[in-house]
A = this chain, B = another copy of it.
Amino acid sequence: MRTELNQFGEFALIEHLTHEIAIHHDETLLGIGDDAAIIENNNACTLVSTDLLLEGIHFDLAYHPLKHLGYKAIIVNLSDIIAMNAIPKQVTVSIAVSNRFSVEALEELYKGIKLACDTYKVDLIGGDTSSSYQGLVISVTALGVQQKDKIVKRSGARPGDFIYVTGDLGGAYLGLQLMEREKKIFHENPGIQPQFENNRAILEKFLKPETRKDIISMLDQSKIVPTSMIDLSDGLSSDLLHICKQSKVAAIIEESLIPIDPDAQMLSMEFHLDPITCALSGGEDYELLLTISPEDQEKIKQLPSFYYIGEVVPVEQGIRLKTTQGNLHEITAQGWKHF
């Protein structure tokens, strides 16, 4: 019997393969299924997250400069630790490259890795290099710490909680669209140089994203522990569905409240795209999506960077978007499927 891989989505496949896994140690508090795993050591906990990035699947070196790629490979992993309300501390990086890469190319990649490590104060503690027959493979594992009672999972949202995002969405998606367009033009007319001058900011959103470590400090200083949190890597709709599924709740979010990146708003018209669809389905913005208990609402109002977009509701009510016209639409997963 042969079952094709594309019969499963990415998340369903890993669930299928690992559902019988036994946990042997009490200190393993959380395994597969959230942004990061949790290991207890005395009162503090170690958070662990890992990612495998392949050329041609997760990135395209035709438009991803190696330094930016190194930076981004670190950011996406730190983002998973931050999404648990934890402080990233260390990373390991392993790479495999074919001999079409030079030592200088790898130096560029590591410049980006170092820059991200220095910017976010994390230590590069391990990893190795080996060869590959084709293309570049990057594997990153990030480690972080947090007190047990401050760790935030995807599963804690309760009906009545308020839903927030921490910044403008859609930028990374439009940055990618722009890159794809200019790449196509360049392939058809190699003499024409790409027109990026007015769009540097939005390109950086895609090529060199940042992660919201500052949010973790703000929440800590205001003594707020979100009830649930996830980083926006797959897109608002897909990531909201993750929170709802794991918290066994539903949600209503309002179109008019979703903050859209102003450059993305402009550029989406050029591409004949609906900006709200870009925000819902785009992904890779690496802002945080979180739910807050009603009693913390006054405190959160004092903070910059928190945009209220809706409310958690009982699971029977369904996960819906209220449009500016007042209509309700069911939200479906539009996350990036790799299969």
In this complex, what residue of B is CB-closest to A17?
B110
Does A95 interact with chain B (Cβ within 8 Å)? yes
A39 in contact with B89 (CB, 8 Å): yes
A52 at the interface (CB under 8 A from B): yes
- Of the listed stretches A30-38, A198-206, A299-307, name the one at the interface; the rest are far from the partner chain: A30-38
Please measure, in the bound complex, the distance between the C-alpha atom of A39 and the C-alpha atom of B124, giving whole angstroms.
Answer: 12
Q: A131 contacts which chain B residues (CB < 8 A)?
A: 5, 57, 338-339
Within A133-163, the residues touching B (CB, 8 Å) are 133-135, 137, 139, 141, 143, 145
B-contact bits for A118-141, CB 8 A (1 contact / 0 none)? 100111111111111111010101
Q: Contacts A50-B141, A90-B39, A90-B48: A23 and B57 contacting too (C-beta < 8 A)?
A: no
Interface residue A94 (Cβ < 8 Å from any Cβ of B): yes
1/0 contact trace for A79-111 toward B, CB 8 Å? Answer: 000000000011010111101011110110010
Q: Does A273 contact B (CB under 8 A)?
A: no
User: Smallest distance from the beta carbon of A32 to chain B beta carbons, Å?
Assistant: 6
Contact check, A17 vs B134: say whether CB atoms are below 8 A apart.
no
Considering the chains assembled together, what is the distance between the CA atoms of A296 and B106 in angstroms? 45
The answer for the CA separation of A17 and B18 in the assembled complex, in Å, is 35
Interface size on A, residues (CB 8 A): 81
- Name the residue of chain B whose CB is nearest to the CB of A38: B125
Residue from A36, A41, A110, A121 with most neighbouring chain B CB atoms (10 Å): A41
- Whether A129 touches B17, Cβ cut-off 8 Å, given contacts A5-B97, A102-B4, A137-B52, is yes
Please report the C-alpha to C-alpha distance between residue A1 and residue B117 in the assembled complex, in whole angstroms.
27
A195 within 8 A of B: no
Pair A10/B123 contact, Cβ less than 8 Å: no
Contact of A57 among B6, B96, B103 (CB under 8 A): B96
**Are B57 and A132 in contact (CB-based, < 8 A)?**
yes
- In the assembled complex, which residues on chain B have CB atoms less than 8 Å from the CB atom of A27? 89
**A1-55 contacts to B (CB < 8 Å):** 1-8, 10, 13-14, 16-18, 20-25, 27-28, 30-32, 36-37, 39, 41-42, 44, 46, 48-52, 54
Asked if A126 meets B5 with Cβ closer than 8 Å, knowing A17-B107, A17-B110, A99-B339, the reply is no
| Interface: A72 (CB within 8 A) | no
- Bound-state CA distance A202–B49 (Å) is 37
State the CA gap A266–B295 with chains docked (Å): 75
In the bound assembly, the distance between CA atoms of A132 and B134 in angstroms comes to 11
Residues of B within 8 A of A51 (CB): 94, 128
A92 contacts which chain B residues (CB < 8 A)? 37, 48, 50, 141
Contacts of A6 in B (CB 8 A): 99
- Sorted nearest first, the 9 A-B pairs with minimum C-beta distance are A37-B125, A3-B103, A139-B139, A52-B94, A41-B41, A28-B123, A31-B125, A141-B141, A2-B102
Please list 13 pairs of residues, one from A and one from B, whose beta carbons are closer than 8 Å in the complex, sorted by A's number: A4-B103, A5-B97, A17-B129, A24-B118, A32-B127, A36-B126, A37-B92, A46-B143, A52-B94, A52-B139, A57-B96, A57-B133, A131-B338
